[in-house]
Structure 1
């Protein structure tokens, strides 16, 4: 697709309304003085303030609407299908559809709210970093490659986490608590099996995250180093190419190590979730056979376990994103303070 074609598509009537809306939305002004030499938590609060609580309230609403279908599924099977009540089936189906529509709408609002907060935090950070970069640009020893990386991808990563930090934690934690409380109420034995499959995942993620953080920090330093080498005019072309090739090879090796750890952890978590589903199915099947529960309850538990494993995975992703964003923020603070130490 050519640039002219892309521009014509973006100026077409179907996209003009998006541009109009986007122009009317203003960035969030910091609620307090934001300093990039503060802790990561203070930066998040200074950049977004009470909006973290407002978006958290929206997140809790999303949780409630995502939780209701679990009970509706049980009632469809036990109250409508089992009794062959078509009218009841239609009513429950209509309620399910309404809940789905409300959930999707709230989820969309939540994602837009998160994106607005994140982009506002990015703008706040870039405004300050641009001032630092302009002052340093007058220094003959300033490395412009690092500046481009800091103002680009690194700030995007930190700001993106700021937008979702509190709300993602709230929505996933409240979802886990709601689903587990429902399981305990309906059938404590199956709930215990579900919990036994979830808890080890948190210990596993915490154990491996430190190794991931070390490689993330090294990756950031290597990319900054590559940016400096690519604009280095003090060396010959041959020396520049040799240095950049050596750095790109090291970046490749470090990235592969990251993949081995990251996807290895995901594979182990997927195995744990699959075993958890099997445990729920076997325990529920035994209770159905012995007449202690209904098929509808077991189906609700299988759906509930899925809704328990999804926020569990999201919480682990939140922890990983938080750890990596914290590393990246600290390295930005170090860059503001002075020249970085050469990464080997």
Structure 2
């Protein structure tokens, strides 16, 4: 199987490079649009198809309970099950195609940007050898992270927004009261993510600066003098502490979001169950709404992850642009200006 993938991958080449991957003083949204070009349109079309295919099983679940099972119709049950399986396979195939396309776009952007950064590094190597460590970090992990975001940015946003619109529209059509409860239940997740993202951005910028500093220390002086070695070990310790703080904040946020999501599902179940008891809706509708809420919370979480990744990639891109421009901000501090 791996040989098949290797053969297919061998036929892929980067799309035609743009004149300059990174322009002096360029803003991150402009870079994303310019670097990926019309490919974002094509992958977004696939993304919309993925979202619509993901929506189909919601109504099929309702029909299985309210039609096939309620009427004890085995033929209808098997027919709906077959349609459900087809919808699953369609969604999986489209999503696989989208992910591969996203990866190809992202890697093409990374390749083009890396060509430019390698040229800049070569031109500076003779006069700026003291900063060769941070050069390796920029051409390696930093541009990988930025390019990876470019590959998935617009299409991921499109697929999740499409899912949310289709699911919300369906839920409002079927039962507005439960739809309102679902929407209100998602608000705490959004507010928490927006509130905590600035702190995450600060930690990301600090981490990038520290890793660059350690690279310079390791390349130029780590084995030379004891005071410089001790300085390098202090930097390593700072990287560790900063990363642990990042984990506490990032995964603490994820834990709070998971709790809010679970409470949202519980609220949908309670309100839906009450309406069933009052004869104002059916069990199949409640089952569909619980599934629909999960399908609504997933793209909400994905959009919040998109916002977090975008914010962090924007920080890294700004620092790369500063390096290309020849501006070296303080190694462990934060740059004086932010990018819009």
TM-score, length basis structure 1: 0.93
Question: Within 5 Å, which residues of 2 pair with 1:188-337?
Answer: 188-233=176-221, 236-337=224-325
SS in 2 for 1:102: helix
Q: Does 1:20 align with 2:7?
A: yes
1:123 Cα deviation after fit: 0.6
CA deviation vs aligned residue, 1:47-80 (integer Å, no higher than 9, x gap): 1101111111100000000000000000001110
- Deviation for aligned residue 1:17: 2.6
Q: Deviations over 1:160-192 (max 9, x none)?
A: 000000000000111111111111000000001
- Please name the residue that 1:150 is paired with: 138
- Is residue 2:103 matched to residue 1:115? yes
Question: How many angstroms apart in 2 are the aligned matches of 1:107 and 1:48?
Answer: 19
Kindly tell me: are residues 71 and 36 of structure 1, through their superposed partners in 2, closer, same or farther at Cα, counting changes over 3 Å? same
1:136 is matched with which residue?
124
Q: Secondary structure at the match of 2:21?
A: coil
Tell me the residue number matched to 1:92: 80
The one of the two structures with greater contact order (alpha-carbon pairs below 8 A, sep at least 6) is 2
- Structure 1 residue 32: Cα displacement: 6.5
Q: Does 1:66 align with 2:66?
A: no
TM normalised by structure 2 equals: 0.94
Deviation of the 1:30 alpha carbon? 3.7
Q: What's the secondary structure of 1:143's corresponding residue?
A: helix
- 1:108-156 Cα deviation digits (max 9, x unpaired): 0000000000001101110110110000111154411101100000011
Farther-moved stretch of structure 1 (134-143 vs 111-120): 134-143
Query: Match of 2:13, SS?
Result: coil
Tell me if the contact between 1:32 and 1:47 (Cα under 8 Å) persists in the aligned partners. Answer: no
In structure 2, runs of 5+ residues without a counterpart are 334-340
Of 18-27 and 165-174, the range deviating more from structure 2: 18-27
CA distance in 2, matches of 1:108, 1:142: 44
Q: Could you tell which deviates more after superposition, 275-284 or 29-38?
A: 29-38
Residue 80 (1) aligns with residue 86 (2):
no
- C-alpha distance in 1, partners of 2:128/2:151? 37
Task: State the Cα distance separating 1:235 from its structure 2 match.
Answer: 7.5
Q: Could you tell me whether the CA contact under 8 Å between 2:221 and 2:229 is conserved in 1? A: no
- Deviant stretches of 4+, over 6 Å: none
* Larger CA deviation: 29-38 vs 190-199: 29-38
Structure 1: how far apart are the matches of 2:310 and 2:127?
A: 34
Q: CA offsets per residue over residues 211-252 of structure 1, 9 Å max, x none?
A: 110110000000000001101249834223211110011111
Q: Which moved more, 1:293-302 or 1:256-265?
A: 256-265
The answer to whether the Cα contact below 8 Å between 1:28 and 1:48 also exists between their aligned partners in 2 is no
Q: Please, what is the CA RMSD of the aligned residues? A: 1.4
Unaligned runs of 5+ in 1: 1-13
Contact 1:36 1:125 in 2 (8 A): no
1:320 Cα shift? 0.1
